[in-house]
Amino acid sequence: MKDLTPFDAHSGQDDLSAVRPILLLGAGTPEFREYVLRQIARVRPVVLIDQTPPKWARPYLAAQAAVDLHDPEAAEAFLMSAAVQLGVAGVTTYMEHFVELAARLTHRLGLPGNSPAAAAACRDKAVTRRLLAEHGVPSASSYLAQDADQAVTIARRLGYPVVVKPRGRAGSAGVLRADSDEDVRAVFHRALVDSVLGLEAWSVAGVLVEEYLRGPEISVETVVLGPGQVRIVAVTRKSLGREPQFQEIGHSVDAADPLLCDPVLAAVVTAAVRALGLSRGVLHVELRLTADGPRVIEVNGRPAGDLIPLLVERATGVNLAQALATLAAGGIPDLAPTRSEAAAIGFLYPEHSGYIERLDVHGALHDQLWLERLVWTRDVGTQVTAPPRASIDDRIAHWVVTGATAADCAKRRSLVADHLSVRVAHPVHTTSCTR
């Protein structure tokens, strides 16, 4: 295979001829994905498939290939051939973009994985809502709007406030609360065009108008070992920014979270997994805890982003990244907790839009053993947008803290925020036209 570039076995695995590798679709950014890739490489040799395989990933790879994944038919044909020639044990991804492609490949190759229909149901929020409703899974009333006028009609029928959201994106892009007809018309276009991480190229177009669910937002990190074998590994408590956006400004995982023993939550998550026909993998199930009980927001057919797998590992000892690789290769992962602690992550957004002029850390934060990491994700000179028009691309920094309890982590997460100083210059306004 002339398009496949092999490397030395940097990860400590045997070479490709000795141990059947797994194909990994997409690498992502090192700030959020290097931890996951490193853990996967400890389970199996990894052959990375990406448009432009990044240099940072190379130490964890047995081989790589540059493939235009924007062309699904051509990519699928190449990957089928590569998988057969390499004798791969599985195909997997942690990237939302490639959930459907991974399912099509495993289905055609007879490898462990979800059906293409189940993967597509996760990627299409309209189909998700329909299947949840058909199976009686508590969710939100949701309707597909063809245009802004129809969106207003739906919103009036549901009653304000409502949520307007894209049919097939992720990362809360284009998801906004609307409190009036005027709001619906204003945010409808944003729901059509807002995107992050280039997901628009892999998303079904359309806009949903949904019932607004009141209550705290959580996610349930879930492992499906086989049909009907659903295991809840962790509960992630989410901190959200000010509405009308629903941007996540932090996550917290506590090994002693009482929701882990909640039979109602377990029943809802299990019912959602079954309704979508998901039979294997590591899932990220988002819910709202309403006055009427937990109700499903989304079911994602891949592990959580935002370093939530790292939080889970630091809090419980369960390694979701390694579970993903083990399941892809046909094995059964060890999901027994080995820790009973807590971990949290915080995200820094700009207070106003403009160009970053200065980034500072005050005090000896890096000497604190409970500070897992502190990463600036935007450089001086970068333009950033403040809420309510921000996306996850506008995050300036993130930091991970650990502690004995979730309360400890909350204090430490706030302490780090207090030690960060960012100066953003207001954009220059002019009445002159420039080219």
Q: What is the CATH number of the domain that holds 189?
A: 3.30.1490.20
17 and 104 inside one domain: yes
The set of long-range contacts for 173-176, using a CB threshold of 8 Å and a minimum separation of 24, is: 173/199, 173/391, 173/392, 175/245, 175/246, 176/244, 176/245, 176/246, 176/388
Q: In CATH, what number is assigned to the domain containing residue 368? A: 3.30.470.20
Residues 328 and 356 reside in one and the same domain:
no
Residues 224 and 291 in one domain: yes
CA distances from 57 to 11, 64, 188, 221, 321 (A): 11, 10, 38, 25, 15
Based on the fold, state whether residues 62 and 152 are members of the same structural domain.
no
Which residue range(s) make up the domain with 174? 141-211
| Number of domains observed in the structure of the chain | 4
Q: For the purposes of burial, counting CB atoms within 10 Å of the CB of 27, is it exposed (0-12), middle (13-18) or buried (19 or more)? A: buried
Among 211, 241, 262, give the residue marking a domain's end. 211
CATH number at residue 82: 3.40.50.20
Query: Which of 279, 305, 339 lies at the terminal end of a domain, its last residue?
Result: 339
One domain for residues 150 and 222? no
User: Do residues 74 and 190 both lie within one domain?
Assistant: no
126 and 269 in a single domain? The answer is yes
Considering the domain architecture, whether residues 277 and 373 belong to the same structural domain is answered as no
Asked if residue 326 and residue 226 are part of one domain, the reply reads yes
Taking only the tens of pLDDT, the chain with its 435 residues reads 446 777 654 444 445 656 899 999 999 999 999 999 999 999 999 999 999 999 999 999 999 999 998 888 889 999 999 999 999 999 999 999 999 999 999 999 999 999 999 999 999 999 999 999 999 999 999 999 999 999 999 999 999 999 999 998 766 678 999 999 999 999 998 888 776 666 766 678 899 999 999 999 999 999 999 998 999 999 999 999 999 989 999 999 999 999 999 999 999 999 999 999 999 999 999 999 999 999 999 999 999 999 999 999 999 999 999 999 999 999 999 999 999 999 999 999 999 999 999 999 988 887 899 999 999 999 999 999 999 888 889 999 999 999 999 999 999 999 999 999 999 998 754 333 333
- Verify that 129 and 240 share a domain, yes or no: yes
222 lies in the same domain as 272: yes
- Dist. CA 312–CA 223, nearest whole Å: 13
Ranges of H-type helices in 210-365: 263-276, 308-316, 320-328
Name the domain boundary from 312, 339, 366.
Answer: 339
State whether 10 and 107 are in the same domain. yes
Cα–Cα distance between 135 and 180 in angstroms, integer?
31
User: How far apart are the C-alpha atoms of 58 and 64, rounded to whole Å?
Assistant: 8
Q: How far apart are CA 432 and CA 435, in angstroms?
A: 10
Strands laid side by side in the 397-403 sheet = 293-300, 281-290, 217-226, 229-240, 248-254, 342-348, 397-403, 371-376
